[in-house]
A and B are shown apart, each in its own frame.
Chain A
Amino acid sequence: MSDISLIGMMSIFTAGLSIGLGAIGPAIGEGLALANAMRALAQQPDKANTITRTLFVGMALIESTAIYCFVVSMILIFANPFWNYVLDRSGG
């Protein structure tokens, strides 16, 4: 197998792997956060504003781990430095 196809194959494989694995943890975390926020809302409906705000901020913080994985996989597919290097070498 040539280097260029190996790099392409591994990039796409790793991109899928990173977004797949990176979605599992945040999904569980967001589920737990939402379940607990629902429980808190049921117990204290008066505090709905505070709970919802904290939930949003917390969710965004949890979600950012998934977003990091997404950025990594996007870089692997669309802006892969190794891929660009190989393309430059083979073109020049």
Chain B
Amino acid sequence: MEISPDNIILWQSGIVKLNATILYTWLVMIILVGGSWLVTRQLSVQPKLSRRQHLLEIIVDAIADQIRDASRQEPSQFLPFIGTLFIFVATCNLLTLFPIYESPAGSLSTTTALALCVFVAVPLYGIKNRGVGGYLKHFLQPSPFMLPFQLISEISRTLSLAVRLFGNIMSGSMLVAILLSIVPLLFPMVMRAFGLLIGVIQAYVFAILAMVYIASGMRAQKSS
């Protein structure tokens, strides 16, 4: 049994390896980019919209609402980043419906990459909204002695973001694999359906936590 799809190597030439994580990430990317490209070909503002445009508008609207609720700010500047995170992770997890597919979110390298994006985005949004000095000043709040702890908290929450997503998705696929060898009939199907729910909730939690971290990076300097 493999602990992560990183270990499933499909093709190898020298030191260049193509593992299941990379392949399925490409698959998700193709689906997302191709789907968005298809939908945005004929956008219209007429009352009669195409079904595909309706679908995308519902998704984008829902994400914008959630961002507005979580950050209490206008969602337009966060929508591209947070929306991409949510849609990517959700698609990764929902595609586990198909038999041989392994979710790339069940690999620690994918989740670490996503968490690093959040790690970089927090100071970027903070600096963009409050300037370099204003952002750096919040590390010295409430007193300069807290600086190491502030830095540790920045790093540890990135780590926890990565390990949480990895652990949840990996545990889901691992449970299904173990159950398949014990009770091969019907029960793994129920766990798979449960895994779909967990996958969407984890995508939601990942996006909301990223939003909360970014908002806290911006709000901290407002008071100072």
Residues of A within 8 A of B (CB): 50, 53, 56-57, 60, 63-64, 67-68, 70-71, 74-75, 78-79
Interface range, B side: 20 to 34
Give chain B nearest CB distance to A50 CB in angstroms.
7
Residues of the A chain whose Cβ atoms lie less than 8 Å from the Cβ of B168: 63, 67
Residues of B within 8 A of A (CB): 1-3, 66, 69, 160, 163-164, 166-168, 170-171, 174, 201-202, 204-205, 208-209
Give chain B nearest CB distance to A61 CB in angstroms.
8
Asked whether B160 lies within 8 Å of A64 as measured between CB atoms, the reply is yes
Assembled-state Cα–Cα distance A56/B168 (Å): 14
Known: A67-B171, A74-B174. A60 touches B3 (CB 8 A): no
Known: A64-B164, A64-B167, A68-B167. A57 touches B3 (CB 8 A): no
Residues of the B chain whose Cβ atoms lie less than 8 Å from the Cβ of A64: 160, 163-164, 167
Pair count A-B, CB < 8 A: 41
Asked whether B204 lies within 8 Å of A56 as measured between CB atoms, the reply is yes
Asked whether A79 lies within 8 Å of B160 as measured between CB atoms, the reply is no
Asked whether A57 lies within 8 Å of B205 as measured between CB atoms, the reply is yes
Give chain A nearest CB distance to B65 CB in angstroms.
10
Residues of the B chain whose Cβ atoms lie less than 8 Å from the Cβ of A67: 163-164, 167-168, 171
Assembled-state Cα–Cα distance A78/B1 (Å): 8
Give chain A nearest CB distance to B21 CB in angstroms.
16
